[in-house]
Amino acid sequence: MAFDATEQGFESLVVEAWPTAPHIATVGSCCLVGVVTDETIYIANYGDSRAVLISIFRSTGKIAPMQLTTEHNTALDTVREELKASHPDDPRIVLQKHGVWLVKGIIQVSRAIGDMYLNKQEFNRDPISPQFRL
């Protein structure tokens, strides 16, 4: 819900800035949030950021990393399948270019705050640069 609210706020900013700074529709960011309370860790990930918990065993000096999140990146089969399932009428939703899987042939990350030109057709037109057009 917090990511949705942030996305809506950013979209409002893009709408407001569109007449004078349309390139803002091509800006996006991943987000990773961690909150620690008492003995509980809460992690939220949106994009291809990664949270890793590192444990150090004092008796042996051994370090044990444990990944706490899963990236939203088209390098993962599950992400590609999710995209195909949620966009069944778009055969170009995931394309492979030079051995790398990309959303719409453009970007590896499948979720991000912003990048409105990818999410909303009204921001994928003039006056943004043709390199961002689908």
Q: Is the pLDDT of residue 1 over 80?
A: no
Q: Please tell me the distance from the alpha carbon of residue 40 to that of residue 23, in angstroms, as a whole number.
A: 40
Q: Which pLDDT score is estimated for 5? A: 92
Cα separation of 54 and 42, whole Å? 15
Binning pLDDT at 50, 70 and 90, where does residue 134 land?
A: confident
Q: Map out the domains of the chain as residue ranges.
A: 1-29+112-128, 31-69, 72-111
DSSP-assigned beta bridge partners for residue 42: 35
The model carries a pTM of 0.77
34 has a pLDDT exceeding 90 = yes
Q: Is the pLDDT of residue 22 over 80?
A: yes
Question: Is it the case that residue 119 has pLDDT exceeding 80?
Answer: yes
Q: Cα–Cα–Cα angle for 56, 57, 59, nearest 5°?
A: 145
Which residue in 104, 68, 100, 112 sits closest to 83, CA to CA? 104
